[in-house]
Amino acid sequence: MTEDSKDIIEQDLNKAINFLGQNKFLEAESICKEIIKEKDNSDAYHILSSIKLYKQEFNQSIELVNKSIEINGDNPGYYVTLGCAFSASKDYKNSIKAFKTAISLNDRVAQVHFYLGESYRKLKKYNDAIASFYRTIELSSDHVAAHMLLGLVYQEKKQFDLSIQSFKKCIEIMPDYPEAHLNLGLCYLLVGDYENGWREYEWRKKLTKTPHDNLKKEWTGQSLDDKTLLILHEGNENLLHFIRFAKDLHKDNCKIILQCSNEAMKLMANQKWINEVVSEDSIPDHDYHVHIGSLTRVLQCNPNNLSQEFPYLELKNNEVKSSKKDKLNIGVVFETSRDSNAHDDESIDEEIISDIFSDTHNVICLDEKITIKNLPTLYNENFNYTDLYELSEFVSSLDLVITVDHLLAHLAGALNVNTLLMLPCVPNWRWEITHRNTTPWYKSVTIFRQETPGDWKSVINKIKEKIEENNNV
């Protein structure tokens, strides 16, 4: 190949890179394919791989970048792209191999150590992840994401002081970083520091889009006597968890208007102390507004010091709908929301739970994702509901609820139904870690926590013992 030809290829590759940077993928792809027609070129294959990675076509991305590596195995950038493609396809073992190869060729790039640490974190190899994140910080001391993930890893290891320290370092570097403030708040709440926790929890509002045009002044503790308070929706779990705190506000001659989902509309409309229930995007006339998750901050709530009444949700009709009066009726959910980032950690494989029930139990599936057509054999029946009011009526008639961290736990707790809650080693912030088997949020909920990450068997064995106790009552 002549020097002129090399120069032309170099110019074309630069054009392709510029198009790639502008997200003009068709143009970049066209140039690279023309280059490859003449002769295989590692950089052209690499650009094509990057395009496929952006388009989430991971297998094709891996195939193309491997061609780059076949031509030139000494370019660390190719291995970084390979590692990112493996990581994006959740093949973390191979992403680790690729990132380590890139580091063996050049160990001075902070971002590659960060990628390696994240792959280790995904595999729960926390000590290796910590080492990678510290190496990232050694090379780039203000690498905010590395400090952030260090905080999350330390939290998973129950080293909460170090977790808090890492989140604070994020904030020191970037004071207005909402995710760092929120994670710091959630860690504080998990360890029972409610004063600091509620303050930092307010940063969640920076991460959600709330229409502000028609909102009046935010309620921060002003007198509500003869005023109208609009409580803004923040999801059904927050609704069920925090709505109890709005009840006392009604006693101050305050008119309560509540935003909520269609699913919760009937249940909330049945609460006599709520004056009006509106859809989650409706903003009727009001004097003040408050996000439902901010009530605890304004009211300075610490659940450990509160005198609470249960149940705090009312139902018009409390008809028994459980079908087997001669058996212990148990409502069950073993899979948490599939939208949850913690889905895999919080859900339980059905194989582990197959033998905890007996003929004396009527086991009812309350998982909305399961129908009679795909009902596992461990259940006797399922209950499909159209809204939370219908579910509430049914749950209130059960003898026992057994659930993972799911909306059902909050609903059953609010209705004061006997509930066994199964949690991972480090749970969601709502289930304060300083309480072993209880929660200050719901007096009818008994908690069973993993001793070590991923160990559901010991939890299930304790649940089995508890079910037998219920049989004997």
Domains of the chain: 3-205 (1.25.40.10), 217-301 (3.40.50), 328-472 (3.40.50.2000)
> Dmax over Cα atoms in the chain, in whole Å?
90
- Give the mean pLDDT per block of 10 residues along the chain (473 residues): 75 94 95 94 97 97 98 98 98 98 98 98 97 98 98 97 98 98 98 98 90 87 96 97 92 91 97 96 96 97 93 80 79 90 89 87 93 87 94 96 97 98 96 94 97 92 88 63
What is the Cβ-side half-sphere exposure of residue 435, based on CA atoms within 13 angstroms?
Answer: 23
Token pair of 382, please?
Answer: 């399922």
Whole-number Å distance between alpha carbons of 389 and 400: 18
pTM, whole model, 2 decimals?
Answer: 0.93
Which residue type is seen at 173?
I
Residues 73 and 374: their CA atoms lie apart, in Å, by 49
Residues 6+ apart with CB under 8 A from 412: 331, 395, 401, 403, 419, 442, 444, 445
Please state, in angstroms and rounded to a whole number, the distance separating the CA atoms of residues 473 and 271: 32
Q: Is 94 exposed, middle or buried (0-12, 13-18, 19+ CB in 10 A)?
A: middle
pLDDT at site 111? 98
Say what the pLDDT of residue 350 is: 81
pLDDT at 330: 96
Alpha carbons 161 and 167: distance in angstroms, whole number = 10
Q: Which residue has the tokens 């076509």?
A: 57
H-helix or E-strand spanning residue 166: helix 160-173
Short-list 10, 2, 87, CA closest to 42: 10
